[in-house]
Amino acid sequence: MAFRIVHYINQFYAGIGGEEKADYKPEIRTGVVGPGMAFKGALKGEAEIVATVICGDSYFASNMDEAASAIIDMIREYKPDAFIAGPAFNAGRYGTACGAMCEAVSKEFGIPVISGMYPENPGVEMYRKHAWIVETPDSAAGMRKAVPAMAKLVLKLLKGEAVGRPSDEGYIERGIRKNMFYEKLAAERCVDMFVSKLKGETFETEYKMPVFDRVDPQPAVKDMKNAVIALVTSGGICPKGNPDHIEASSASKFGEYDITGVNDLTSETYCTAHGGYDATYADQDADRVLPVDVLRDLEKEGVIGKLHNKFYTTVGNGTSVANAKRFGAEIVNRLVNDGVTAVILTST
């Protein structure tokens, strides 16, 4: 039996119209529409486009969440094994819609999602971590090149075959690290690379040094005497026994703990869940990581308005930036809702 694919295209490729029809609301049609015909040949009967979703680019752009969830509902009954969006070439709004739908479908159904775009399409930067995006030329003239490449990759994914490097498979680098066993020990690979570098030969690093986001500095606190200060830590301080089982490494969650009436963290009441540093000192006196005692004094003396009655904690050990970002966003939400003025973050 052939694999089932649902295809996403915009109003233009569905033959409905150009910019004047870009507010076209999503609909689903059984079978292939527009470029789906070309995929039909390229999929060689191993997979079949069972339905095609059509949505106007402007409509999608102005109603992203709503459109995506409506489309998800439409797709459900077709029980797809994979999802193809586009190719969008260098069309920005179309590319963004393709990327967003790929992300939504992948989240909802956990199936392979694939699109095709020109590398400079803004949809690439936004969604390359969420979808396989085959590199295409910048205009529809490249359809004949894009479709076979996308079909080949989607079949590979459907069959569960290992996907090679971007340059070998023709997709745009997703920035996702995947383990593999090499022919040689890592030590030998390192000495090989070392020798190439010494000799001035070309070599390819196995990992390009990472880059991190930047955020604009927040304005200063004007009135500390009336400020509510919260404590947040990646040092794993938690009530003794780690009641929420925060992982010793690669944390999947953070803890929120009430410290109303707590003036000092002691070895009887608090410990660390962190598995990445010598816990002896934090277990003896958790104030060494989370300075509740000092902030209580400062609160009493009126230096700060109030120490927030909850602290937030996670384990920074081997925890991915993606998880940390997720925790950060959620913690900030809660702090803002609780009227916290500023946060002291401690890390180990």
Partner 1 sequence: MKLELQKLNVKSLKFGDKTGFSDGVLAINKAELIALISEDPMLGKNIDADIAMPGESVRIMPVKDVIEPRWKIEGKGQVFPGMLSDVETVGEGKTLVLSGCAVLTAGKLVRFQEGIIDMSGPGADYTPYSKTCNVVLILEPSDPNMDKHDYETACRMAGLKAAAYLAKSCSGLQADSTEVYEMPKIRDAMNSYPELPKVGYIYMLQTQGLLHDTYLYGVDVKRILPTLISPLEVMDGAIVSGNCVSACDKNSTYSHLNNPVISDMLKRHGKDFNFVACIVTNENVTLADKRRSSSYATKLAAMLGLDGVVITEEGFGNPDADLIMNCRKSEQLGIKTALLTDEYAGQDGASQSLADSCPEGDACVTAGNANEVIKLPAMKKVIGYQEEANVIAGGWQGSLSDDGSITVELQAITGATSELGYTKLGAYTL
Partner 2 sequence: MCTIVPISQTVGANRIVPTIAIPHPLGNPSKTPEEEKILRRSLVERALKALQTEITEQTVFTE
Cα Rg, the chain, nearest whole Å: 26
**Within 13 Å and on the Cβ side, how many CA atoms surround 288?**
15
Q: Does residue 166 touch partner 1 according to CB under 8 A?
A: yes
Per CB under 8 A, the list member of 58, 63, 249, 309 interacting with partner 1 is 249
- Contacted by 220, from partner 1, partner 2, none: CB < 5 to 8 Å by type: partner 2
Q: Beta strands 47-55 and 27-30: pairing type?
A: antiparallel
Please tell me whether the peptide bond between 87 and the residue prior to it is cis, using omega within 30 degrees of 0. yes
Question: Does residue 318 come out as left (phi exceeding 0), alpha (psi in the -120 to 50 range) or beta?
Answer: left
Neighbours of 334 (CB within 10 A): 14
Q: Does residue 191 touch partner 1 according to CB under 8 A?
A: yes
Residue nearer to partner 2 on the CB measure, 161 or 278 = 278
CA 33 to chain centre: 31
**Distance (Å, whole) CA 191 – CA 177:** 22
Q: Which residues bind partner 2 (CB under 8 A)?
A: 212-222, 224, 229, 235, 277-282, 284-285, 287-291, 293-295, 297-298, 303-304, 321, 342, 344-348
Q: Does residue 215 touch partner 1 according to CB under 8 A?
A: no
Least CB distance to partner 1 at residue 248 (A): 4
Are 121 and 98 spatial neighbours (Cβ–Cβ below 8 Å)?
no
Stretch of 63-71, 147-155, 201-209, 328-336 lying at the interface with partner 1 (CB under 8 A): 201-209
Are 83 and 113 spatial neighbours (Cβ–Cβ below 8 Å)?
yes
Residue nearer to partner 1 on the CB measure, 1 or 215 = 215
Least CB distance to partner 1 at residue 266 (A): 18
Residue 298's Cβ-count burial label (10 Å; 0-12, 13-18, 19+) is middle
Stretch of 1-9, 49-57, 100-108, 273-281 lying at the interface with partner 1 (CB under 8 A): 273-281
Q: Does residue 203 touch partner 1 according to CB under 8 A?
A: yes
**Distance (Å, whole) CA 292 – CA 305:** 14
Place of tokens 């997703």: 174
Least CB distance to partner 1 at residue 118 (A): 20
Q: Does residue 34 touch partner 1 according to CB under 8 A?
A: no
Least CB distance to partner 2 at residue 277 (A): 5
Least CB distance to partner 1 at residue 174 (A): 5
Q: Does residue 268 touch partner 1 according to CB under 8 A?
A: no
Q: Does residue 250 touch partner 1 according to CB under 8 A?
A: yes
Q: Does residue 329 touch partner 1 according to CB under 8 A?
A: no
Are 113 and 130 spatial neighbours (Cβ–Cβ below 8 Å)?
yes
| Interface residues toward partner 1, by CB under 8 A | 129, 163, 165-166, 173-191, 193-199, 203, 205-212, 245, 247-250, 252, 275-280, 316-323
